[in-house]
Amino acid sequence: MLWTVTIVCLLLAGLIFRQRFRKRNEEPEMAGENAGLAILEFGRAFPGEAIREVITTANGRTVFLRLHDGKAGCMHAHGHHYSCHLIEPGTVRVAGAGPKRLTIEFANAAFEGGLFEFHDEKQAAEVSLWMLGSFMPGIAAQDNRTAGQPT
């Protein structure tokens, strides 16, 4: 009888440990949940691009990145994998779809576009400005007055 109770307790402890271990291993890999992971993945895909700011969507599945030279980047989570895009001038179309929503269409990756909802209106406006800046990234770098900087 004692052996039966001991075996049942060991099996129960093993199942509990397995569930906790599995959950702990999956949490860091939850795509879009960790901005640090997004920065690392984008850095692997585009090592020459410096990231200035990161904004995630409300569901955490998409990350928009503002880059150092006026360009923008986008990362979509597909399970445990990301697809990274460097948004080239003239390859994106943005339209407002509500106070916290944007409809974004990518010319070079049409399947990645869609309706994106952000945490608040400020983030949606910021991302739309990044996309607008990615249309002509060279202008801001050429003339400080264009960027709103005093001369």
Do 10 and 46 share a structural domain? no
pLDDT at 5: 87
Cα separation of 149 and 151, whole Å? 6
With respect to residue 113, please indicate whether it lies within any of the assigned structural domains. Answer: yes
Amino acid at 95: A
Q: Please, are residues 99 and 124 in contact by the beta-carbon 8 Å criterion?
A: yes
- Over residues 11-24, the mean pLDDT reads 80
With respect to residue 148, please indicate whether it lies within any of the assigned structural domains. Answer: no
Do 39 and 7 share a structural domain? no
With respect to residue 82, please indicate whether it lies within any of the assigned structural domains. Answer: yes
pLDDT at 109: 67
pLDDT at 93: 81
- In this predicted model, which residue has the larger pLDDT, 150 or 18? 18
CATH of the domain at 90: 2.30.29
Whole-prediction pTM value? Answer: 0.64
Q: Is the pLDDT of residue 136 over 60?
A: no
Do 78 and 5 share a structural domain? no
Joined together, the tokens standing for residue 28 give 């860091």
- Over residues 108-133, the mean pLDDT reads 82
Reported as a pLDDT band with limits 50, 70 and 90, residue 31 is: very low
CA end-to-end distance (rounded Å), the chain: 87
Least confident stretch, 22-31, 73-82, 85-94: 22-31
Do 70 and 1 share a structural domain? no
Domain assignment of residue 5, given as a range:
1-29
Cα separation of 47 and 35, whole Å? 17
Q: Please, are residues 54 and 65 in contact by the beta-carbon 8 Å criterion?
A: yes
Joined together, the tokens standing for residue 77 give 């989570």
Cα separation of 132 and 116, whole Å? 16
